[in-house]
């Protein structure tokens, strides 16, 4: 029997999806933020699994950046560039903020060192450094207590020779070289990415070693980590390039949602992944959207990533009244410990508690298969809010739901309306532990015609991880005109980059190539897909068309520059056919009529078990559909239909 285990570590729960020769078993357990590997290994033991392959959506690197608990990191730059990270680009995320706060650099100034060696823009050596100087810089970093070192020298994307000198110095420092991490021009972005990689590198390396050791103890096999682009990497690549895993979990969710929706006949979707701590949304217009730069806690990195927008709104988001008695929900979350009040340990009133008070959750069902919700405790937690709502706990709970929905609506508008898309032309895919609870309300707010809830919405990110392909992506700057004179340079660079990423995946991996193009004088690029031996006229036409679609204009007479060449190696995952997966039966509750609150009204509501719904069956709202990993609310005025792939398709009556 082949066993593949997908794992997604969230802020509140760690999700497991075990694939055993086509049959899927689901498990959820509270996350262990102090040691994420503990929840994973405990879950493997509970499932009795011996996975041949474990694919893991990791939050280790992300949390290290957010919580500022990465390694003490040193930075080596070219002489005169010591303050590069401190100066940055002088951009303002919010131009209307009169008192903007810029996060302190990850590298303190006393750990920023300069190397006298220097390259010219074409990569030739202008001043060769003394090897003793390199050794001395490493020694100074170690004596200052550094655990990691980032090296980012001017023009090293054109020639890695000077940075490679640091490889030859024996040291216990975790070494991060810009010529390997981000060999692209733009010194600020390349240096920031390299420093970020060094900052999380030691923590990620230790975590992966612990996870591999634990996996072996459970009789498991290989380990892979989901990357921000939705593909997976082996532990060696993930440890060397942890910056590529910063959006690991959200990327797996989008990939899983797009795979499920495509098989159901919908390739224009907006993904809505609401977990315990945050909500991640993405718009997929026929493909999973990609971008070349991400921002985490104010720190940017140049790395391939699924284009996901995140807001601090989840089931654990805490509701409170501010000093002006205005209701606020999030971004602070109750997390996994202590969790929402209804879980039995927390004291704060959260979005999950609001659903319990409204009767949407807690009808004898065991959340995650093991946790009974405490309605009395949820009502006690609401006592700090009810005075603002005439003492009515249902009114307070409804207000909390409406504020949380408004927060998530704004996020959905960022990826749709603000980018020129009409939400009415897309299907909303609701997943995550809390996504199906809010999907109908969000679809109403945005005028979306339908909602698709996958068969296993609460563990869809784990499903996306288990089905992910093994990938590696690399970009390298060339900075040449898109002209016949550049043909040899482009082909040689594409060949070199393709060979490098193929080596990181397998000799049989499929290769996709791309060019980052811009009109001469522009400061931003668009990526077009090309063959390994690119036809320049075809690339130019594709760029003009893409520029027209993205910005509403193009100029066929303007010269075009090639900034970077890209290559992605991809090897298909072991369990790629998601449509053939059959969920194992889950714990059921008694189907009956209950009462729940919707829009201030107490309505008779059907309580149904999802396992008992057959293909083609219709459920008219209001209804609550329970399953092991999530609860779906069919709002009044909506009808849910079970399609041929066991999805719930919700449409207005």
Check pLDDT > 90 for residue 605: yes
Burial grade of 20 (CB within 10 A; 0-12, 13-18, 19 or more) = middle
Kindly give the residue spans of alpha helices, DSSP state H, lying in 299-392.
351-357, 375-381, 383-386
Alpha carbons within 13 A on the beta-carbon side of 222: 15
CA 592 from chain centre, in angstroms, equals 38
pLDDT digits (tens, 9 = 90+) for 387-425: 999 999 999 999 999 999 999 999 999 999 998 899 999
| Cβ neighbours, 10 Å, residue 354 | 32
Where along the chain do its domains lie? 1-52+247-469, 73-203, 472-571, 580-652
77-100 mean pLDDT: 86
Cα separation values, 610 from 372, 434, 616, Å = 19, 16, 13
Phi, psi of 534 (to 5 degrees): -65, 140
Cα separation values, 404 from 312, 330, 354, 387, 466, Å = 10, 8, 11, 20, 30
Element containing residue 239 per DSSP (H, E):
helix 235-240
Sequence-ordered list of residues with C-beta below 8 angstroms from that of 100, at least 6 positions apart, any chain: 92, 93, 94
Predicted pLDDT at 589: 61
Write a three-state SS string for 453-488.
ECCCHHHHHHHHHHCCCEEEEEEEEEEEECCHHHHH
CATH class of 472-571: alpha beta
For the chain, percent of residues with pLDDT exceeding 90: 67
Residue 545: both structure tokens together: 């068309």
Buried b (16+ CB within 10 A) or exposed e, 534-572: bebeebbebbbeebeeeeeeeeeeeebbbbbbbbbbbbe
Long-range CB contacts (within 8 A, 24+) of 159-162: 159/119, 159/123, 159/124, 159/125, 161/125, 162/115, 162/117, 162/119, 162/125, 162/128, 162/129
| Cβ neighbours, 10 Å, residue 328 | 16
* Pairing mode of beta strands 601-609, 623-626: parallel
Cα–Cα distance measured from residue 440 to residue 635, given in angstroms and rounded to the nearest whole number: 6
> Taking CA 214 as the corner, what is the angle to CA 208 and CA 220, rounded to the nearest 5 degrees?
100
CATH class of 1-52+247-469: alpha beta
Eight-class DSSP state of 101? -
Do 1-52+247-469 and 472-571 fold alike per CATH? Answer: no
Burial grade of 421 (CB within 10 A; 0-12, 13-18, 19 or more) = middle
Element containing residue 648 per DSSP (H, E):
strand 648-652
pLDDT digits (tens, 9 = 90+) for 248-296: 989 999 999 998 999 999 999 999 999 888 899 999 999 999 998 998 8
Residue 372: both structure tokens together: 């009974």
pLDDT digits (tens, 9 = 90+) for 532-586: 889 999 999 999 999 998 888 999 999 999 999 999 999 887 655 554 555 555 5
Check pLDDT > 60 for residue 503: yes
Which segments of 116-252 are extended strands (E)?
118-119, 125-127, 148-152, 174-177, 222-226, 232-233
Cα separation values, 309 from 61, 137, 148, 194, 542, Å = 18, 40, 30, 23, 27
| pLDDT tier at 436, thresholds 50, 70, 90 | very high
Alpha carbons within 13 A on the beta-carbon side of 320: 12
Cα–Cα distance measured from residue 625 to residue 619, given in angstroms and rounded to the nearest whole number: 9
* Pairing mode of beta strands 232-233, 268-274: unpaired
Check pLDDT > 90 for residue 500: yes
Residue with tokens 């509970």: 46
Judge whether 465 and 252 are in contact, CB under 8 Å. yes
Cα–Cα distance measured from residue 19 to residue 47, given in angstroms and rounded to the nearest whole number: 11
Residue 414: both structure tokens together: 């960022």
Phi, psi of 233 (to 5 degrees): -130, 150
Considering the chain, what is the average pLDDT of its residues?
Answer: 90
Eight-class DSSP state of 552? S
241 vs 3: which has the higher pLDDT:
241
Write a three-state SS string for 485-523.
HHHHHHHHHHHHHHHHHHHHHCCCCEEEEEEEEEECCCC
| pLDDT tier at 94, thresholds 50, 70, 90 | confident
pLDDT digits (tens, 9 = 90+) for 634-646: 999 999 999 999 9
């Amino acid at each position: 029997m082949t066993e593949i285990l997908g794992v997604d570590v969230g802020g509140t729960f760690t999700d497991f999806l075990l694939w055993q020769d086509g049959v899927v078993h689901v498990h959820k357990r509270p996350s262990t933020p102090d040691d994420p590997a503990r929840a994973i290994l405990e879950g493997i033991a509970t499932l009795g699994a011996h996975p041949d392959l474990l694919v893991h959506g990791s939050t280790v690197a992300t949390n290290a950046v957010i919580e500022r608990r990465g390694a003490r990191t040193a930075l080596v730059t070219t002489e005169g560039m010591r303050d590069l990270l401190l100066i940055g680009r002088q951009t303002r995320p919010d131009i209307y903020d009169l008192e903007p706060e810029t996060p302190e650099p990850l590298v303190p100034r006393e750990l920023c060192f300069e190397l006298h060696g220097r390259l010219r823009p074409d990569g030739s050596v202008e001043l060769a450094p003394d090897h003793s100087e390199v050794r001395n810089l490493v020694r100074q970093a170690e004596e200052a207590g550094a655990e990691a070192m980032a090296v980012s020298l001017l023009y090293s994307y054109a020639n890695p020779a000077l940075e490679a000198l640091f490889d030859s110095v024996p040291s216990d420092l975790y070494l991060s070289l810009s010529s390997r991490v981000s060999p692209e021009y733009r010194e600020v972005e390349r240096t920031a990415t390299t420093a970020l990689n060094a900052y999380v590198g030691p923590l990620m390396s230790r975590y992966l070693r612990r996870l591999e050791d634990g996996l072996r103890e459970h009789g498991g096999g290989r380990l892979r980590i989901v990357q921000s682009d939705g593909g997976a990497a082996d532990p060696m690549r993930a440890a060397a390039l942890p910056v590529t895993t910063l959006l690991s979990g959200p990327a797996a969710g989008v990939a899983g949602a797009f795979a499920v929706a495509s098989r159901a006949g919908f390739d224009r979707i907006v993904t809505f992944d609401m977990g315990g701590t945050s909500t991640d949304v993405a718009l997929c217009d026929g493909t999973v959207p990609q971008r070349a730069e991400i921002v985490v806690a104010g720190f940017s990195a140049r790395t391939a990533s699924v284009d996901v927008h995140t807001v601090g709104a989840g089931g654990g988001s805490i509701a409170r009244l501010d000093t002006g008695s205005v209701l606020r929900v999030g971004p602070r979350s109750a997390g996994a410990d202590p969790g929402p009040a209804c879980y039995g340990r927390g004291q704060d009133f959260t979005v999950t508690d609001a659903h319990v008070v409204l009767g949407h959750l807690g009808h004898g069902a065991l959340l995650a298969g093991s946790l009974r919700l405490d309605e009395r405790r949820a009502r006690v937690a609401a006592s700090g809010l009810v005075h603002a709502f005439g003492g009515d706990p249902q009114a307070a709970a409804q207000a909390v739901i409406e504020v949380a929905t408004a927060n998530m609506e704004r996020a959905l508008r960022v990826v749709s309306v603000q980018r020129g898309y009409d939400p009415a032309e897309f299907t909303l895919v609701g997943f995550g532990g809390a996504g199906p609870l809010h999907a109908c309300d969000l679809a109403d707010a945005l005028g979306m015609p339908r909602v698709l809830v996958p068969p296993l919405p609460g563990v869809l990110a784990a499903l996306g991880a288990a089905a992910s392909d093994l990938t590696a992506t690399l970009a390298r700057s060339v900075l040449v005109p898109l002209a016949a004179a550049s043909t040899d340079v482009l082909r040689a660079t594409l060949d070199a980059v393709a060979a490098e990423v193929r080596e990181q995946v397998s000799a049989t991996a499929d290769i996709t190539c791309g060019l980052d193009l811009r009109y001469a004088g522009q400061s931003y690029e668009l990526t077009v897909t090309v063959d390994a031996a690119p036809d320049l006229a075809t690339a130019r036409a594709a760029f003009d068309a893409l520029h027209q679609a993205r910005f509403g204009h193009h100029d066929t007479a303007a010269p075009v520059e090639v900034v970077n060449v890209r290559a992605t190696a991809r090897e298909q995952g072991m369990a790629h056919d998601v449509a053939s997966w059959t969920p194992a039966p889950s714990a059921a509750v008694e189907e009956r009529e209950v009462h729940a609150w919707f829009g201030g009204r107490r309505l008779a509501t059907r309580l149904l078990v999802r396992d008992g719904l057959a293909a083609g069956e219709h459920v008219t709202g209001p209804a609550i559909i329970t399953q092991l990993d999530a609860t779906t609310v069919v709002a009044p005025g909506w009808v849910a239909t079970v399609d041929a792939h066991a999805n719930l398709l919700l449409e207005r009556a």
